[in-house]
């Protein structure tokens, strides 16, 4: 099963309302930026593919807010190569067929540059219909490997992403387990029918072995399984030091609670490790205390660029920014900067600038690997005292 975007939607649980953006580039409601001055000459036209209706509309709106803030900043500086950015929204829900149609319509309407869609399944559909000679797409939040790579393993020439793909965060937490926690024996729990879980577990196991560690126990589970006690006892008997569990928060809560019970009868230390799917309002910060997991973005990052952006976002929309907003902003910023560096609007030359460039994003410094995945620091956080506390960034060198 391909989890269409649940890898981020589970991670975001953001039931907040942010101001809606319209087709002219203005924001509705809240503290809003002034309307941009109408362009008097040629413009840079960018299509934003994201949900605008039904239950995912809020997520789509937050994602667009991040991109629009970047557009406004570029326009205030005179635009890109002297052209003001003009943007339009195409409704692309987390549905394969609908997203493909939305992308085709945007391209038919003359848009050479696309940001979106939100979810992996939708982004794969849009990527499949993005012609390499006339259009370029950056998926801000879709993490499935097949967004930027086709079924034959070939990189899509003009399709990129702003969020890291599945494997990078698993590799990062494996390195963290080995280097920071000094773990040499690990267990992994996997939901076999879920592509997200299976891909992350495989990537963790491969990286952990490369670090000199050993996977001493691997067990499948189903999300509805109420009792993990026998599995956890077997993991303890195998003398594992860490458990990797890239799962939804309700599963994590059950495993962590039963792990705490095991610790009371067997005080041997066993540290639970997780993925971005833990970043949910459903996560029990008490029972998971002492665990670690990876994120795409951490709001309390103290880097000046991130702090300045967070302040600007809050001043514009009267809301704290989140991961969706940050990735939407980075996708727009990366695209504009690549066009500026290329010195042309020709999509193949812009793609080359993306492949060869170095970009400063609010989620970290970014370069791209040979499959158009961003290589950037992965934040690892710890659950402690019912809080999420930044631990460190993990940098991975990936062969291009």
Tens digits of residue pLDDT in 45-65 = 999 999 999 889 999 999 999
Containing structural domain, residue 156 = 6-164+301-368
Question: Is 70 exceeded by the pLDDT of residue 26?
Answer: no
Question: Is 80 exceeded by the pLDDT of residue 355?
Answer: yes
More confident residue, 23 or 116: 116
pLDDT tens track for 171-214? 999 999 999 999 999 999 999 999 899 999 999 999 999 999 99
Asked if the structure places residue 210 within a domain, the reply is yes
Same domain, 254 and 386: yes
**Mean of per-residue pLDDT scores for the chain:** 89
Same domain, 20 and 88: yes
Spatial contact of 119 and 98, defined as CB atoms under 8 Å apart: no
User: Of the ranges 36-50, 240-254, 257-271, 379-393, which one carries the lowest mean pLDDT score?
Assistant: 36-50
Asked if the structure places residue 400 within a domain, the reply is no
255-277 average pLDDT score: 89
Asked if the structure places residue 373 within a domain, the reply is no
pLDDT tens track for 303-351? 899 999 999 999 999 999 999 999 999 999 999 999 999 999 999 999 9
Asked if the structure places residue 214 within a domain, the reply is yes
Asked if the structure places residue 316 within a domain, the reply is yes
Residue 247 is inside which H or E element, if any? none
Same domain, 207 and 264: yes
pLDDT at position 108 is 97
* pLDDT above 70 as % of the chain: 89
Same domain, 171 and 24: no
Same domain, 160 and 175: no
pLDDT at position 13 is 37
Tokens of 326: 């940050």
pLDDT tens track for 272-303? 999 999 999 999 999 999 999 999 999 887 78
Residue 398 burial (CB < 10 Å; 0-12/13-18/19+)? middle
Asked if the structure places residue 399 within a domain, the reply is no
Band (pLDDT 50/70/90 cuts) for residue 388 is very high
Same domain, 91 and 203: no
Same domain, 213 and 156: no
Q: How far is CA 183 from CA 233, 263, 287, 326, in A?
A: 18, 18, 22, 32
pTM of the full structure: 0.86
DSSP string, 262-275: HHHHS----EEEE-
Domains held by the chain: number: 2
More confident residue, 3 or 392: 392
Asked if the structure places residue 59 within a domain, the reply is yes
- Determine the Cα–Cα distance for residues 186 and 204; give it in Å rounded to an integer: 10
Question: What is the distance between the terminal CA atoms of the chain, rounded to a whole angstrom?
Answer: 29
Ramachandran sector of residue 317 (left: φ over 0; alpha: ψ -120 to 50; beta: rest) = alpha
23-52 average pLDDT score: 63
Same domain, 278 and 317: no
Same domain, 135 and 232: no
Same domain, 203 and 345: no
In this structure, what CATH number is given to the domain that contains residue 147? 3.40.50.2300
Same domain, 149 and 279: no
Question: Is 70 exceeded by the pLDDT of residue 15?
Answer: no
16-31 average pLDDT score: 35
pLDDT at position 166 is 83
Same domain, 46 and 88: yes
Report the greatest alpha carbon distance in the chain: 74
Question: Is 90 exceeded by the pLDDT of residue 23?
Answer: no
pLDDT at position 267 is 63
pLDDT at position 40 is 60
- Determine the Cα–Cα distance for residues 84 and 117; give it in Å rounded to an integer: 23
């Amino acid at each position: 099963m391909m989890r269409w975007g649940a890898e981020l939607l589970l991670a975001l649980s953001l039931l907040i309302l942010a101001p809606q953006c319209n087709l002219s580039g203005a924001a509705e409601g809240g503290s809003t930026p002034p309307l941009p001055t109408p362009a008097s000459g040629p413009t840079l036209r960018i299509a934003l593919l994201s949900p605008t209706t039904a239950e995912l509309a809020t997520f789509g709106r937050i994602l667009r807010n991040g991109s629009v803030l970047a557009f406004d900043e570029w326009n205030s500086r005179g635009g890109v190569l002297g052209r003001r950015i003009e943007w339009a929204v195409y409704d692309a829900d987390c549905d394969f067929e609908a997203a493909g149609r939305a992308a085709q319509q945007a391209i038919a309407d003359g848009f050479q540059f696309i940001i979106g869609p939100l979810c992996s399944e939708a982004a794969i559909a849009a990527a499949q219909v993005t012609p390499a000679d006339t259009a370029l797409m950056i998926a801000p939040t879709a993490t499935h490997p097949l967004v930027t790579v086709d079924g034959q393993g070939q990189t899509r020439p003009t399709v990129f992403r702003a969020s890291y793909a599945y494997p990078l965060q698993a590799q990062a937490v494996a390195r963290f387990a080995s280097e920071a926690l000094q773990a040499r024996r690990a267990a992994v729990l996997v939901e076999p029918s879920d592509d997200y879980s299976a891909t992350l577990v495989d990537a963790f196991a491969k990286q952990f072995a490369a670090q000199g560690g050993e996977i001493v126990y691997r067990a499948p589970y189903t999300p509805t399984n109420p009792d993990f006690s026998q599995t956890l006892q077997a993991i303890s008997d195998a003398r594992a030091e860490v458990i990797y569990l890239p799962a939804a928060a309700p599963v994590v809560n059950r495993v962590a609670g039963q792990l705490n019970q095991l610790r009371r009868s067997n005080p041997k230390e066993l540290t639970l490790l997780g993925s971005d799917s833990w970043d949910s309002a459903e996560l029990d910060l008490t029972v998971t205390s002492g665990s670690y997991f990876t994120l795409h973005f951490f709001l309390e990052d103290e880097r000046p660029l991130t702090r300045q952006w967070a302040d600007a976002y809050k001043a514009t929309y009267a809301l704290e920014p989140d991961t969706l907003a940050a990735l939407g902003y980075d996708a727009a910023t990366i695209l504009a900067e690549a066009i500026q560096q290329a010195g042309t609007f020709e999509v193949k030359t812009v793609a080359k600038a993306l492949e060869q460039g170095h970009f400063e994003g609010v989620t970290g410094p970014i370069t791209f690997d040979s499959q158009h995945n961003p290589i950037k620091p992965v934040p690892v956080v710890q659950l402690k005292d019912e809080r999420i506390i930044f631990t460190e960034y993990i940098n991975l060198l990936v062969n291009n």
